Amino acid sequence: MPVEVFNRYEHKYLLDRATYEKVLRIMDIHMKLDKHNKEHKPYTIANVYYDTPDDYLIRNSLSKPVYKEKLRLRAYGVPDRETKVFLEIKKKYNGIVNKRRSVLKLSEAQTFLQTGEIPEVTNYMNSQVLNEIAYFLSHYKLSPKVYLAYDRIAYFEQGNPDLRISFDMNIRSRRYNVALEKGDFGETLLDGNTYLMEVKTSRAKPLWLTNMLTELKIQRQSFSKYGTEFKNTINPVPIKRAI
């Protein structure tokens, strides 16, 4: 069964192509590719973010409060209504990210999100998380706001499953046909030569990683895919590039 509860720090970095290629060479020395990234080929993650009529959740998140939360529906590739997907609450408090999720069939998740009524619980669902999401849905009036997808290459450190490093590229989004089963397409969020690296761990970074960040002069940045998409929707700006 996939891990359904996470508590960790998530640090983000924007890389240009040259730096990205140097980093991958170091990754291959110290870490192992995700099983879905054979021969460094990325896999696709697709999300639908839910928000209030006045976009309260993302506006609150962008104000950088001590506590913030999001709700999203996630699939790998383009699902049909019987495909199993993840319904996730993502919270952040004092820099620590807590993600809680449950597996559902897409049809079950969509009905749950529309009605607020928990589906009949089966062995692939996490009933505790579903109860938390039901409370979330009762507290906010939510609807699907944006489709956001990207291609990912991910690494884990052998012997240390706590550390995971991912690289996202070709980030695209749309605010029409906002449903996972409608297909994988949208407008580009980042320049094609820019890559988002995320370091996810609940512990201190290993020495080789801190040395790499220092030697390649890679600086941590604040970056939210949904937040950037929302800001561009309200006030369009040139596509963001790595510094």
Would you state the pLDDT for residue 205? Answer: 92
* Element housing 23 (H / E): helix 17-30
Would you state the pLDDT for residue 234? Answer: 82
* Alpha carbons 38 and 237: distance in angstroms, whole number: 36
φ, ψ dihedrals at 30, nearest 5°:
-105, -20
Burial per residue of 141-165, b for 16 or more beta-carbon CB atoms within 10 angstroms, e otherwise: ebebbbbbbbbbbbbbbeeeeebbb
Would you state the pLDDT for residue 5? Answer: 64
- 227: its two tokens: 């937040």
Would you state the pLDDT for residue 3? Answer: 55
Q: Digits of tens for pLDDT over the chain (243 positions)?
A: 455 666 889 999 999 999 999 999 999 999 999 999 988 999 999 999 999 999 999 999 999 999 999 999 999 999 999 999 999 999 999 889 999 999 999 999 999 999 999 999 999 999 999 999 999 999 999 999 999 999 999 999 877 778 999 999 999 999 999 999 999 999 999 998 999 999 999 888 999 999 999 999 999 999 999 999 999 988 654 444 444
Q: Nearest to residue 69, comparing CAs of 46, 97, 103, 102?
A: 97
Beta bridge partners of 201: 9
* Element housing 28 (H / E): helix 17-30
* Alpha carbons 233 and 228: distance in angstroms, whole number: 9
Domains of the chain: residue spans and CATH = 6-234 (3.20.100.30)
- 3-class DSSP state for residue 101? strand
**∠ at Cα 215 (212, 216), nearest 5°?**
80
